[in-house]
């Protein structure tokens, strides 16, 4: 790891500002429906408090767009954190200002305070210097443990590092970089990447970057139909990105030129409507009739892909194999998730990018059977694209 982490700095007696990703889902009564983003920050929180530091936590929640919105207050997070830590969590009235500065100055070692939603101020996303300075006031160590926002240069992820040094990675970011980084730059081979999801346009840079690294590439999800179109096949009413057909052709040619095995499904589940109640059939990919659309990979493809997963020693997966939100088209995604779990049990390293594939793994109850599930959808995608994440780049070098 090229950047300093929590274990590289003295924390005793310091007031530490830590950026977390507490952007948790809430129901209509503002109850937290999934607290994994809070529990995944606990190792860093407990360590910092245990070292005798006073801890100021900050995060965004939802999209208040620069306005104070009570329904997007972080108060429910403070309460849940209190339960999880068994410790009082002081809830600040705002994230900057004289009242907050006073609370910070009164915070004793071992005490923890949560600042109010950063995005109640439009300056946060604008990475405003003065806002970063106000946010940093009174703190002498900065910790970034919010992998989910590491791909954004905001005041709380990038701006503060110009005001507070050292700026170090928390344990969660350290773990993300270890697993994602090793999977890409130093994998046990063969390395297999599986890409799915609706659109090829969102994944082109990932495919291009992975071409340099992988031994095999599986493509599933809605984006296969643009590839099939590029191969001259009829795809009925399946999802198509007309303006990406030429690009898909280039990618197919490039894979062939480089000797990379690019695996596309052999069969698909088709439906006569985009609905869970639609009539469905399984057909070879050459036989999609007019008026029907492909919504999942077929059973033969599930078997072929599962075998490829079993043969790999490192697997990176990003994006569902079909329209998995509808149970009728979730089987392909489930089979891939189960194949990953089985490969993990056999000693392979398996890494799932955040977002839909992480949600799918959870829905099938396989969370603890995968080596690493990223907490950041957008951030892990940008990492796989080979881009530098501004929130990480800004941290102090080792």
Q: Which of 69, 199, 249, 313 is catalytic?
A: 199
Residue 106 neighbours by CB under 8 Å, 6+ apart: none
Interface residue with ligand AMP among 148, 187, 298, 319 (CB under 6 A) is: 319
| Strand duo 261-263 + 216-219: pairing | parallel
Judged by CB under 6 A, the chain residues 281 through 300 that form the site for ligand AMP are 294-295
Q: How far is CA 372 from the centre of its chain?
A: 11
Residue 359 neighbours by CB under 8 Å, 6+ apart: none
Which of these ranges, 6-14, 77-85, 114-122, 191-199, lies near ligand AMP under the rule CB under 6 A? Answer: 191-199
Interface residue with ligand AMP among 199, 233, 249, 281 (CB under 6 A) is: 199
Q: Name the 3-class secondary structure at 286.
A: coil
- Neighbouring CB atoms inside 10 A of 185's CB total 8
Question: Min. distance of Cβ 20 from ligand AMP in angstroms?
Answer: 24
Alpha carbon distance 21, 40 (integer Å): 9
Judged by CB under 6 A, the chain residues 220 through 239 that form the site for ligand AMP are 221-222, 239
Is 199 a catalytic site residue? yes
Which of these ranges, 103-111, 306-314, 316-324, 384-392, lies near ligand AMP under the rule CB under 6 A? Answer: 316-324
Is 378 a catalytic site residue? yes
Question: Min. distance of Cβ 80 from ligand AMP in angstroms?
Answer: 28
Is 80 a catalytic site residue? no
Question: Min. distance of Cβ 294 from ligand AMP in angstroms?
Answer: 5
Is 175 a catalytic site residue? no
- Cβ atoms of 311 and 303 within 8 Å: the answer is no
Q: How far is CA 371 from the centre of its chain?
A: 15
Interface residue with ligand AMP among 145, 158, 356, 382 (CB under 6 A) is: 356
Residue of minimal Cβ distance to ligand AMP: 197
Dihedrals phi, psi of 3, to nearest 5 degrees: -105, 150
Helix axes 377-384, 204-211, angle to 10 degrees: 40
Active-site residue set: 37, 199, 355, 378
**Binding residues for ligand AMP (CB under 6 A):** 197-199, 202, 221-222, 239, 294-295, 319-320, 322-325, 356
């Amino acid at each position: 790891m090229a950047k300093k982490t929590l274990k590289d700095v003295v924390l005793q007696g310091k007031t530490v500002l830590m950026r977390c990703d507490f952007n948790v889902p809430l129901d209509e009564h503002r109850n937290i429906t999934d607290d994994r983003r809070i529990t995944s920050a606990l190792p860093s929180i407990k360590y910092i408090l245990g070292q005798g530091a006073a801890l100021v936590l900050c995060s965004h929640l939802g999209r208040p767009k620069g306005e104070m919105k009570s329904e997007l207050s972080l108060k429910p997070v403070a309460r849940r954190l209190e339960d999880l830590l068994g410790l009082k969590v002081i809830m600040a009235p705002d994230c900057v200002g004289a009242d907050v500065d006073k609370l910070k100055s009164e915070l004793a070692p071992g005490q923890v305070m949560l600042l109010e939603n950063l995005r109640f101020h439009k300056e946060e996303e604008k990475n405003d210097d003065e806002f970063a300075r106000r946010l940093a006031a009174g703190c002498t160590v900065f910790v970034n443990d919010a992998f989910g926002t590491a791909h954004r240069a905001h005041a709380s992820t990038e701006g503060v590092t110009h005001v507070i040094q050292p700026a170090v990675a928390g344990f969660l970011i350290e773990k993300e970089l270890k697993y994602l980084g090793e999977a890409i730059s130093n994998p046990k081979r063969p390395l297999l990447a599986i890409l799915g999801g609706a659109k090829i346009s969102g994944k082109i840079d990932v495919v291009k970057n992975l071409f340099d690294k992988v031994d095999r590439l599986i493509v599933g999800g809605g984006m296969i139909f643009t590839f099939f179109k590029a191969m001259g096949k009829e795809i009925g009413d399946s999802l198509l990105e007309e303006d990406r057909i030429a690009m898909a052709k280039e990618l197919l040619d490039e894979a062939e030129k480089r000797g990379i095995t690019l695996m596309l499904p052999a069969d698909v589940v088709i439906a006569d409507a985009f609905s869970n109640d639609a009539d469905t059939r399984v057909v070879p990919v050459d036989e999609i009739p007019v008026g029907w659309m492909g919504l999942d990979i077929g059973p033969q493809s599930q078997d072929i892909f599962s075998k490829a997963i079993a043969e790999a020693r490192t697997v990176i997966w990003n994006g569902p194999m079909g329209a998995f939100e509808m149970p009728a088209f979730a089987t392909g995604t489930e089979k891939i998730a189960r194949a990953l779990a089985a490969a993990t049990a056999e000693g392979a390293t398996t890494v799932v990018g955040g977002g839909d594939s992480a949600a799918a793994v959870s829905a099938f109850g396989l969370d603890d059977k995968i080596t690493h599930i990223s907490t950041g959808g957008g951030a892990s995608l940008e990492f796989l694209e080979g881009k530098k994440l501004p929130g990480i780049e800004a941290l102090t070098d080792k």
